[in-house]
């Protein structure tokens, strides 16, 4: 069953390795070394649950309720715009920037943001539940399970690699200007994704 596992791993990796809201959030938390293990675990487990649902056939059910994806899309876009404004405020206000660089962020707040980035993003349902779920249907029995396990494994490798690998960039982020640039990029990414979500509804 190594073949289906590898196929699932490669597909899952190709879908998740992209500049997105969730990845930008994990990168920033990794640079700050705040709750990295918990947040990476939540992201990876969330993907695993959604992939399992897709492999189990939930994709067909989701496809029958387009209004559900519409509601998630609108909610996700509003959340992304709000987070973009917070990142922009950090970039433009030196006091907010210093506060963000120092001190431990509240775990509950970080978890709430992490879950919002995950489940208020309609693309996560399209990628995990619908796409991976539908492709897994080309396999049968244990091979189908292996395919889903491979896709889920890719999420674990990616999120933990991103969260802990961010520490390698810390010498670069010793300068306040680097944090300002990062937050400007995060604000732009969040806003761009929010706009693209709303455009998809047109």
| Number of structural domains the chain divides into | 1
What is the rounded CA–CA span in Å between residue 122 and residue 68? 10
Q: Give the model's pLDDT for residue 61.
A: 64
> Measuring CA to CA, how many Å separate 116 from each of 1, 52, 97, 122, 159?
34, 20, 23, 11, 16
11 in Cβ contact with 152 (< 8 Å)? no
Q: How many CB atoms lie within 10 A of CB 170?
A: 13
Q: Give the model's pLDDT for residue 18.
A: 66
What is the rounded CA–CA span in Å between residue 193 and residue 180? 20
Note down the domain range covering 114. 2-201
Q: Give the model's pLDDT for residue 59.
A: 61
- Cα three-residue angle 159-13-83, rounded to 5 degrees: 50
Separation of CA 142 from chain center: 28
Q: Could you tell me the mean pLDDT of each successive run of 10 residues in the chain, 202 residues long?
A: 85 76 86 92 94 79 69 79 84 60 70 89 80 78 90 94 88 75 83 82 72
């Amino acid at each position: 069953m190594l073949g289906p596992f590898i196929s699932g791993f490669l597909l899952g990796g190709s879908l998740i390795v992209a500049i997105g809201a969730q990845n930008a959030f994990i990168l920033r938390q990794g640079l700050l070394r705040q709750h990295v293990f918990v947040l990476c675990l939540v992201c990876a487990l969330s993907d695993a649950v959604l992939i399992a649902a897709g492999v189990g056939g939930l994709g067909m059910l989701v496809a029958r309720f387009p209004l559900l994806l519409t509601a998630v899309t609108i909610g996700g876009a509003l959340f992304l715009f709000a987070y973009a404004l917070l990142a922009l405020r950090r970039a433009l206000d030196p006091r907010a920037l210093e506060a963000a660089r120092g001190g431990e962020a509240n775990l509950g707040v970080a978890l709430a943001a992490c879950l919002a980035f995950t489940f208020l993003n309609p693309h996560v349902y399209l990628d995990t539940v619908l796409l991976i779920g539908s492709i897994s249907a080309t396999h049968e029995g244990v091979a189908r399970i292996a395919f889903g396990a491979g896709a889920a494994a890719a999420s674990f490798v990616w999120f933990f690699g991103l969260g802990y690998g961010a520490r390698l960039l810390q010498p670069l982020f010793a300068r306040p200007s680097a944090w300002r640039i990062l937050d400007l990029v995060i604000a732009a990414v969040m806003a761009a994704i929010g706009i693209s979500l709303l455009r998809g509804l047109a």
